[in-house]
């Protein structure tokens, strides 16, 4: 029945998202570290240099620091946004690109509010690898330790630190990703570029990765910086709000700083989209479900 199909979709979505997350996680760690660099006080190495530094000081496992909370996040986040979009899409008239874009954005907002604590822990643990490079002790010993300390020092609501820029980013990413993938695949199949197969899924996933990165990178930079600053443990608060972070970043580092980490963001979102959509469409087909 409908309930059974929904359960299968949730399982397949979570599985595809976890595969995509694991495959691209080292790039995400590199991107997070790049976004935390402030050009006024630190030199600006490239993505390859940052990744090499992490490997040099912590080995390959350093690139996967924060993977468990990232997988936990996708267990909730991706099934929720994909299924919400599929439901909202039914009320979009005809080929309305704007309607699909809003449906994609709203799906991301709902899912991100639920998954924000896991995202916060992931960002903090990735940022910790920078402390290790500087010879300082890590703030957290693992996912559970991070959750416990955040609640102890910042309160339960501290788990939703940076939720506003996170939600803004989720709206833009999902608007770019879901609507673009849906629309691109629709146009590819309708214009007979190819059938609704792996080639169509690959082309559409490349387009969605590029549009999602361009739209979301500024919000991603703000989100990463807001989430990394702790309000407890006597730390200095550099940014009072996401707007304050946006203004200070542009004022001190220039407008281009909002696209800091664009290459690793795209280098991650692109393959992430590819692994996710191709595996998800294939799993749906094997399970006897219709194409997305």
Question: How large a percentage of the chain has pLDDT more than 90?
Answer: 25
From the list 175, 197, 174, 202, the residue with the least C-alpha distance to 291 is 197
Every domain of the chain and the residues it spans: 162-260
Higher pLDDT, 213 or 33: 213
> What CA–CA distance (Å, rounded) separates 267 from 22?
14
Phi/psi-derived region of residue 192, left when phi > 0, alpha when psi is between -120 and 50, beta in every other case: left
Which pLDDT value is given to residue 259?
86
- Residue 45 pLDDT > 80, yes or no? no
Q: Is the dihedral of CA 283, 288, 289, 290 positive or negative?
A: positive
Ranges 42-46, 128-132, 283-287: which has the least confidence: 42-46
> What CA–CA distance (Å, rounded) separates 87 from 104?
11
pLDDT band at 234 (very low <50, low <70, confident <90, very high): very low
pLDDT band at 103 (very low <50, low <70, confident <90, very high): very high
- Residue 228 pLDDT > 80, yes or no? no
Phi, psi of 246 (to 5 degrees): -60, -50
Which pLDDT value is given to residue 144?
86
- 127-166 core/surface letters (b: 16 or more CB in 10 A; e: else): bbbbeebeeeebbbeebeebbebbeeebeeebbbbbbbbb
- Residue 40 pLDDT > 60, yes or no? no
> What CA–CA distance (Å, rounded) separates 150 from 158?
6
* pTM higher than 0.85: no
Burial class (CB in 10 A: 0-12, 13-18, 19+), 237: exposed
């Amino acid at each position: 029945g409908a309930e059974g199909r929904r359960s299968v979709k949730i399982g397949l979505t979570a599985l595809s998202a976890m595969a995509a997350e694991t495959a691209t996680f080292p790039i995400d760690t590199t991107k997070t570290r790049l976004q935390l660099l402030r050009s006024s006080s630190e030199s600006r190495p490239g993505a390859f240099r940052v990744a090499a530094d992490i490997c040099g000081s912590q080995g390959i496992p350093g690139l996967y620091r924060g993977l468990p909370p990232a997988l936990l996040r996708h267990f909730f986040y991706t099934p929720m946004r994909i299924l919400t979009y599929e439901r909202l899409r039914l009320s979009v008239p005809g080929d309305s690109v704007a309607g699909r874009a809003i449906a994609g954005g709203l799906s991301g907002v709902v899912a991100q509010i639920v998954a924000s604590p896991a995202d916060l822990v992931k960002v903090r643990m990735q940022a910790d690898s920078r402390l290790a490079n500087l010879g300082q002790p890590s703030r957290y010993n693992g996912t559970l330790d991070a959750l416990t300390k955040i609640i102890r020092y910042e309160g339960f609501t501290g788990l939703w630190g940076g939720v506003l820029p996170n939600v803004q980013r989720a709206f833009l990413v999902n608007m770019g990703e879901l609507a673009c993938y849906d629309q691109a695949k629709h146009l590819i199949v309708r214009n007979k570029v190819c059938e609704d197969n792996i080639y169509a899924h690959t082309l559409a996933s490349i387009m969605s990765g590029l549009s999602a990165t361009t739209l979301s990178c500024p919000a991603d930079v703000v989100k990463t910086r807001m989430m990394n600053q702790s309000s407890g443990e006597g730390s200095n608060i550099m940014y009072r709000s996401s707007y304050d972070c946006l203004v200070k970043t542009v004022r001190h580092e220039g407008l281009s700083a909002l696209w800091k980490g664009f290459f690793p963001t795209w280098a991650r979102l692109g393959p992430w989209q590819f692994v996710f959509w191709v595996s998800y469409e294939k799993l749906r087909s094997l399970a006897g479900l219709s194409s997305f």
